[in-house]
């Protein structure tokens, strides 16, 4: 049994679907179901006893303690977070509450549980903290990619809150011996991503003939990784990672935002020629830049590749093709998530069953 936090979000739900298919090992999924949490992502597991959904907050220590006692997980995979940079700029408080205070409360309950385990279980136990490359700040055009020894220099309230949580996780290892692992990953894309993030936002606006907003000059660079490759990397770190270490995860796939948007538009031109406005790229509109917008992220993924033998299976060309096709095939999911009816769907389908 493993316990996943934030398993109804984009990466967490991809992780649970892949994990249960690959290992069959049961998962307790603790998720607050914020605007970003969507149980419809996990509908294929609705009748599956290996997925136990618990509606709750990582800040609820009574609940976390009860879940640990009841299910006795061998590992915690901590995905739960407020994840969107723009939202952190408009209102940082939830980011502090969940990413910092929430991680602290979770760590405290996990520490108490871990200390109560018998020697063999205690040795085998793992706390894997899922974090981001944004903690390293911004690179210049000629700088070497981020490595695990790059100093932290977070620039947004989001990245600062993630950096704080990384430091807490590190401290619980060095102070209390908690067996932790931390991953710092680059930008993910793929199925079930909430359409506030660049790729799904562009795709859906393009399909609806709406402007495609490009912040600043569109030359900011991100290192894109298909979400399934991120999930595989997390499995590799959980199975083989060295305690107390951090692992950078990335796809060696640096692209400017403009290139990403043009690629998505070109795929849509082929797969969806009947959109209200074509070519889709004619909708590109330059808008005011994001405050403090990091110019470039790039990941040096040699450590995880060489030490743990992980490599991404998808390149951007194959991954983005699959992703666009997934959204075209799942327009009802998009409709539900954008209209807000998915909360009603949750109540209808999980009402009375979702609290452990």
Contacts of 243 (CB under 8 A, 6+ apart): 173, 179, 180, 181
Which of the stretches 74-82, 171-179, 289-297, 307-315 binds ligand NAD when contact is defined by CB under 6 A?
74-82
Query: Is 158 assigned a catalytic role?
Result: yes
Selected binder of ligand NAD within 29, 188, 263, 323 (CB under 6 A): 188
Which of the stretches 110-118, 182-190, 270-278, 309-317 binds ligand NAD when contact is defined by CB under 6 A?
182-190
Identify the DSSP state of 278. Answer: S
Selected binder of ligand DAU within 138, 165, 257, 323 (CB under 6 A): 257
Of the candidates 57, 134, 300, 314, the residue annotated as catalytic is: 134
Could you tell me where the beta strands, DSSP code E, fall in the chain?
2-5, 27-31, 51-55, 75-78, 126-132, 180-185, 188-189, 212-215, 221-223, 225-226, 246-249, 254-256, 284-287
Q: Does 234 participate in binding ligand DAU (rule CB under 6 A)?
A: no
- Which residues within the stretch 163-222 sit at the binding site for ligand DAU (CB under 6 A)? 186-187, 197-198, 201, 213-215, 220, 222
**Distance of closest approach, residue 179 Cβ to ligand NAD, in angstroms:** 19
Beta-sheet pairing, 2-5 with 75-78:
parallel
Query: Is 274 assigned a catalytic role?
Result: no
Cβ-closest residue to ligand DAU? Answer: 132
* Distance separating alpha carbons of residues 152 and 138, to the nearest angstrom: 10
Residues 187/223, Cβ–Cβ less than 8 Å: yes
Of the candidates 80, 96, 107, 225, the residue with the CA atom closest to the CA atom of residue 159: 96
Question: Residue 282 CB: number of other CB atoms within 10 A?
Answer: 12
Q: Does 75 participate in binding ligand NAD (rule CB under 6 A)?
A: no
Identify the DSSP state of 135. Answer: G
* Distance separating alpha carbons of residues 158 and 140, to the nearest angstrom: 21
Query: Is 121 assigned a catalytic role?
Result: no
Q: Does 57 participate in binding ligand NAD (rule CB under 6 A)?
A: yes
Q: Which is nearer to ligand DAU, 83 or 253 (CB)?
A: 83
Residue 310 has φ and ψ, to the nearest 5°, of -85, 140
Binding-site ranges for ligand NAD (CB under 6 A): 5-6, 8-12, 30-34, 36-37, 57-59, 79-81, 83, 98, 102, 130, 132, 162, 185, 187-188, 194
Give the catalytic positions in this structure.
133-134, 158
Binding-site ranges for ligand DAU (CB under 6 A): 83-85, 132-134, 186-187, 197-198, 201, 213-215, 220, 222, 257, 290, 297
């Amino acid at each position: 049994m493993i316990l996943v936090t934030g398993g109804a979000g984009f990466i967490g739900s991809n992780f649970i679907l892949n994990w249960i298919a690959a290992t069959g090992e049961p998962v307790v999924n603790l998720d607050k179901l914020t605007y970003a949490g969507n149980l419809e992502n996990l509908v294929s597991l609705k009748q599956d006893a290996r997925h136990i959904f618990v509606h709750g907050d990582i800040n609820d220590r009574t609940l976390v303690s009860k879940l640990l006692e009841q299910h006795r997980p061998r590992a915690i995979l901590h995905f739960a977070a407020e994840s969107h940079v723009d939202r952190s700029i408009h209102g940082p408080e939830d980011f502090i509450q969940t990413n910092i205070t929430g991680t602290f409360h979770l760590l405290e309950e996990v520490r108490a549980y871990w200390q109560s385990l018998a020697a063999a279980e205690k040795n085998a136990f793992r706390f894997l903290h899922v974090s981001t490359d944004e903690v390293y700040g911004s690179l210049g055009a000629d700088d070497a990619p981020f490595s695990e020894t790059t100093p932290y220099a977070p620039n947004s309230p989001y990245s600062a809150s993630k950096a704080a949580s990384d430091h807490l996780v590190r401290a619980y290892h060095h102070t209390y011996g908690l067996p932790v692992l931390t991953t710092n990953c680059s930008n993910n894309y793929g199925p079930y991503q909430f359409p506030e993030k660049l790729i799904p936002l562009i795709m859906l606006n393009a399909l609806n003939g709406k402007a495609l907003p490009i912040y600043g000059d569109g030359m900011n660079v991100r290192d894109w990784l298909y979400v399934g490759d991120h999930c595989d990397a997390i499995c590799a770190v959980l199975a083989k990672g060295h305690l107390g270490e951090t692992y950078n995860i990335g796809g060696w796939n640096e692209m400017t935002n403009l290139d990403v948007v043009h690629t998505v538009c070109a795929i849509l031109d082929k797969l969806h020629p009947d959109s209200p406005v074509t070519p889709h790229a004619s909708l590109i509109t330059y808008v005011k830049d994001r405050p403090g917008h990091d110019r470039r992220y790039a990941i040096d993924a040699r450590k995880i590749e060489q030490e743990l033998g992980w490599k991404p299976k998808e390149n951007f060309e194959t991954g983005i093709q699959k992703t666009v096709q997934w959204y075209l095939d799942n327009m009802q999911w998009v409709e539900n998530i954008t209209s807000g009816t998915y909360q009603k769907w949750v109540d209808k389908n999980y009402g009375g069953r979702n609290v452990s």
